[in-house]
Amino acid sequence: MNLQELRWFVAITESENITAVAAEMHVTQPTLSRAISRLEVSVGVKLFDRRQNRLHLNRYGEILRAHALRALSEVDTAQRRITTLADPSEGTVSVCFLHSLGEWLVPNLISRFRDEHPKVRFELRGAAADSVIDDVRAGRSDLGFVAPEPPVHDLVWTPVAAEPVRLLVPAGHRLARRKSVGFAEVAEDDFVALTPEYGLRQLSDRLARAAGFTPRIAFSVTEVGTMSAMVAAGVGVAVVPAPPAAAGAPEGTVLVDLRDRDAWRSIGVIRADRHFTSMAAEGFHRFVLDTLEPRNPTS
């Protein structure tokens, strides 16, 4: 039996009139009759009782109809999914990203992309760098945004943006009136920092090493927002991404520029080294690469 014959069979069970079904399906009545005969030969029993030129399902036909409806529904669902995956203007794109990038980069990119592709949907998840990498590697996310470049060889990482980092200090801190400082000037301060798996923490540690000291981590947290709130409470200083110009420093804090050569992070998009799961994901990846231009902010 084939799918077309099953569709004809279901249509006949609903109409019980082979002439009417033939007209509706734009086939000849003999063609339908032969198809039903083939089905009956295939299953080994009669599927209809014929009464007064009408076909009435018997108990065998009822069983086949129930399974045929489920089979056709599954095939139709598969066809819809395939069509969606093959259409770059529709479908779903799953994106994982560092929490801090969810405050500006990811929303901005998605908003601009959906101006051109309003039917594309997104599944978004903020996480630590290690989790972003794991999600992309396992196929749970189509794309990931991380900083800096991860030390992996099975994923494709492309730099797409460069973002300065700044020193966040309490409003009453001794450096709060300065426009810029060298990182060595906070060697004796307590730090509020992200936990070690976060790329921002790794950058902060590298800045400290380059400045010749080991930072004294008083508080380890998992979100930039919490880190900023702790600094506002006066318990330490922190290295944070430079916020959008309109955002400014969180209340009770001051942002101070860092003069250190490496006080910036390279943001990149990662994907698995294989074909995308959908044309929509491939289209979004291409949009990101075409839209963003990585540039060292110190150059």
pLDDT tens for the chain, 299 residues long, are 688 888 888 888 888 788 888 888 888 888 888 888 898 898 899 998 887 767 888 999 899 999 999 988 888 777 766 665 555 566 889 999 998 888 888 999 999 999 988 989 999 999 888 899 999 999 899 999 998 888 888 999 999 988 899 999 999 999 999 999 999 999 999 999 999 988 889 899 999 999 999 999 999 998 888 999 999 999 999 999 886 655 678 899 999 999 999 999 889 999 998 766 678 888 899 999 998 876 655 55
The answer to whether residue 107 sits within a structural domain is yes
The answer to whether residue 297 sits within a structural domain is no
Q: Domain check: are 285 and 142 in the same one?
A: yes
Q: What is the pLDDT of residue 245?
A: 55
Give the H/E segment covering residue 15: helix 3-15
Amino acid letter, 141: S
Q: CA geometry: angle at 190 spanning 163 and 172, to 5°?
A: 80
Domain termination site, one of 66, 84, 102: 84
The answer to whether residue 178 sits within a structural domain is yes
Q: Domain check: are 136 and 167 in the same one?
A: no
Give the H/E segment covering residue 157: strand 155-170
The answer to whether residue 54 sits within a structural domain is yes
Q: What is the pLDDT of residue 142?
A: 92
Give the 3-state DSSP-derived string for the chain, with helices as H, strands as E and coil as C.
CCHHHHHHHHHHHHHCCHHHHHHHHCCCHHHHHHHHHHHHHHHCCCCEEEECCEEEECHHHHHHHHHHHHHHHHHHHHHHHHHHHHCCCCCEEEEEEEHHHHHCHHHHHHHHHHHHCCCCEEEEEEECHHHHHHHHHHCCCCEEEECCCCCCCCEEEEEEEEEEEEEEEECCCCCCCCCEECHHHHCCCEEEEECCCCHHHHHHHHHHHHHCCCCEEEEEECCHHHHHHHHHCCCCEEEEECCCCCCCCCCCEEEEEECCCCCEEEEEEEEECCCCCCHHHHHHHHHHHHHCCCCCCCC
Q: Domain check: are 72 and 152 in the same one?
A: no
Q: Domain check: are 73 and 217 in the same one?
A: no
Neighbours of 108 (CB within 10 A): 14
CATH of the domain at 129: 3.40.190.10
Q: Domain check: are 215 and 132 in the same one?
A: no
What is the tally of structural domains in the chain? Answer: 3
Q: How far apart are CA 40 and CA 146, in angstroms?
A: 60
Q: What is the pLDDT of residue 82?
A: 64
Q: Domain check: are 68 and 38 in the same one?
A: yes
Q: What is the pLDDT of residue 54?
A: 77
Q: What is the pLDDT of residue 166?
A: 94
Domain termination site, one of 53, 84, 115: 84
The answer to whether residue 47 sits within a structural domain is yes
CATH of the domain at 63: 1.10.10.10
Q: What is the pLDDT of residue 131?
A: 92
Q: Domain check: are 25 and 68 in the same one?
A: yes
Q: What is the pLDDT of residue 85?
A: 56
The answer to whether residue 296 sits within a structural domain is no
Q: Domain check: are 34 and 115 in the same one?
A: no
The residue to which tokens 């998605």 are assigned: 110
Q: Domain check: are 277 and 137 in the same one?
A: yes
The answer to whether residue 71 sits within a structural domain is yes
Q: How far apart are CA 230 and CA 236, in angstroms?
A: 7
Q: Domain check: are 235 and 183 in the same one?
A: yes
Domain termination site, one of 50, 67, 84: 84
Instruction: Give the domain extent around 152.
Output: 92-159+267-291
Instruction: Indicate the pTM of the whole model.
Output: 0.62
Q: Domain check: are 104 and 251 in the same one?
A: no
Q: How far apart are CA 150 and CA 79, in angstroms?
A: 38
Q: Domain check: are 225 and 97 in the same one?
A: no
The answer to whether residue 299 sits within a structural domain is no
DSSP per position, 118-132: TT-EEEEEEE-HHHH
Q: What is the pLDDT of residue 86?
A: 55
